[in-house]
Amino acid sequence: MLEVFELQCFIQNYLWGKKGFASEVSRLSLAGQHIDSIDEKQFYAELWMGALHKSPSLVKSSGQKLSEWIKSNNEALGEKSRLKFGDELPFLMKVLSINSALSIQVHPSKDYAEELHKQYPELYQDSNHKPEMAIALSNFEGLCGFRPYSEIRFFLEEIPEFKLILGSDLIDQFKKDTTNSQNLLKDIFYKLMSSEKGIISQNLSSHKKNLQSLCDDKKNVFLAKLFNQLDCWFPNDVGCFCIYFLNYIQLSPGQAIYLGANEPHAYIYGDCVECMACSDNVVRAGLTPKYIDVKTLCRVLNFNGAPAESKLFCGVKENSYTTLFRPPVPDFAVACIKVPADEMYELLKRDVASIIIVVHGQGKITAPQDLILSTGKVFMVPANVILQIHVGFESLELYQAFVNL
């Protein structure tokens, strides 16, 4: 039987990440010996755990790429995974530490990703879909999905700059014709996103001044703090106006959101464990200096309006210590495992390979072999291996990603 082994993982130093010791990514990476030291001036945005070709994890004992190890030991993936995905690990698990917003974006479905890759390979460099799930490790903020239509109508009516950008006729039609809200919202959003930059810049400046004159209660209603923060990070960016169309989500540690195909979203601030299918297909909508493909964006977007609370993705208790977050895609699922101090525990058997990260605590694996568990360490667990864990003097918190079959 193949054994469990430790992984050496890589960091991405994107400019939206948290700096130095403020970053959960840097904390875990230093504790798990993925890095030797922390630079207070450096950004630590993402810790990658998987076999994605850009930055594959390494077998710590040998330095071999995990992708190469899998090719030589493909039975480790498990029969069900190999039948569905071949001899590859189809997911990437990450820890993210976010200090400024990522771009508002959407990921196309599998079928449409294949079409986009075929037509525009320079923009959409692979043919896979990219569903994602984020589980908060700290208080976490983001945008997710279109607001209920009633909320969007309120902002369109109460913010005068929208009438100047969109025109009164389109807004009045959206207000009156409630049977055609989805199509009208599509027209409104397309017009907003395709407006001239000078018009957007002028109206963003006007709206910012109007917000300053409001009382505190009104400022809260119109999300003044969020608007000003985004405007500071991305001045003159149309994405600043998108907060009045998309749900503003605030997660507590342990809460999750799932981002399926065509769901507009953006992470704004906080730390999370993220798991995703292996792909780089992103259609951007704002809060970015990168290319915005408005036609493709509005073609793929899900324009259904729904309340913020409907975007929470709930886990299911597998036992008293394990909560499973199982999205409606086969590419991945994530189990959150919290074991109290001074406890013996047997992890649930998975018939597919998994990757585990320790985000808090210490202990040891006592079977099938002896391995030390401590904060930041990452392990590859072959299919059908049962782990016996002895937790030490402080509780242990693990995240385990695996194929959802």
pLDDT digit string (tens) for 306-320? 999 999 999 999 999
Residues 305 and 181 sit within 8 Å (Cβ to Cβ): yes
The mean pLDDT value of the chain amounts to: 95
Buried b (16+ CB within 10 A) or exposed e, 158-196: ebebbbebbeeebbeebbeeeeebeebbebbbbebbebe
- 20: amino acid identity, one letter: G
Q: Report the C-alpha gap between 3 and 381 in whole angstroms.
A: 7
> If you average pLDDT over residues 188-207, what whole number do you get?
96
List, as residue ranges, the binding site: 105, 107, 132, 265
pLDDT digit string (tens) for 218-254? 999 999 999 999 999 999 999 999 999 999 999 999 9
Backbone angles phi, psi at 80, to 5 degrees: -65, -40
How many other CB atoms are there within 10 angstroms of residue 67's CB atom? 17
pLDDT digit string (tens) for 257-291? 999 999 999 999 999 999 999 988 888 889 998 88
Q: What is the DSSP string of 213-263?
A: TS-HHHHHHTTHHHHHHHHHHSTT-GGGGGGGTEEEEEEPTT-EEEE-TT-
Q: Report the C-alpha gap between 273 and 49 in whole angstroms.
A: 11
Query: Can you give the pTM of this predicted structure?
Result: 0.95
SS3 string, 105-147, reads EECCCHHHHHHHHHHCCCCCCCCCCCCEEEEECCCEEEEEEEC
Q: Report the C-alpha gap between 389 and 398 in whole angstroms.
A: 11
Of 353, 395, 388, the C-alpha closest to 374 is 395
Whole-Å CA distances, 297 to 50, 107, 143, 258, 392: 29, 9, 16, 19, 50
What is the largest distance, in Å, between two alpha-carbon atoms of the chain?
A: 70
Q: Report the C-alpha gap between 295 and 283 in whole angstroms.
A: 10
Backbone angles phi, psi at 74, to 5 degrees: -65, -20
List CB contacts of 177: < 8 A, sequence separation 6 or more: 184
Pairing of the two strands 246-251 and 140-146: antiparallel
Of 103, 107, 120, the C-alpha closest to 193 is 103
Q: Is it true that the peptide bond before 56 is cis, omega within 30 degrees of 0?
A: no
* pLDDT of 331 higher than 90: yes
* pLDDT of 123 higher than 80: no
* pLDDT of 53 higher than 90: no
Q: Report the C-alpha gap between 247 and 250 in whole angstroms.
A: 10
Residues 91 and 279 sit within 8 Å (Cβ to Cβ): no
Q: What is the DSSP string of 153-169?
A: HHHHHH-HHHHHHH-HH
* pLDDT of 110 higher than 90: no
> If you average pLDDT over residues 321-342, what whole number do you get?
97
> Residue 120: pLDDT band by 50, 70, 90 thresholds?
confident
- Count of residues in the chain: 405
Residue 82 is a catalytic residue: no
Q: Report the C-alpha gap between 369 and 4 in whole angstroms.
A: 8
Residues 18 and 99 sit within 8 Å (Cβ to Cβ): yes
Roughly how many angstroms between the first and final C-alpha of the chain, as a whole number?
Answer: 22
pLDDT digit string (tens) for 163-181? 999 999 999 999 999 899 9
Whole-Å CA distances, 348 to 315, 335, 383, 385: 16, 10, 11, 9
List CB contacts of 386: < 8 A, sequence separation 6 or more: 346, 347, 349, 367, 368
In the prediction, which pLDDT does 112 show?
81
Of 175, 169, 21, 153, the C-alpha closest to 99 is 21
The single residue of 27, 82, 147, 284 carrying the catalytic annotation is: 284
> Residue 129: pLDDT band by 50, 70, 90 thresholds?
confident
List, as residue ranges, the binding site for Zn(2+): 105, 107, 132, 265
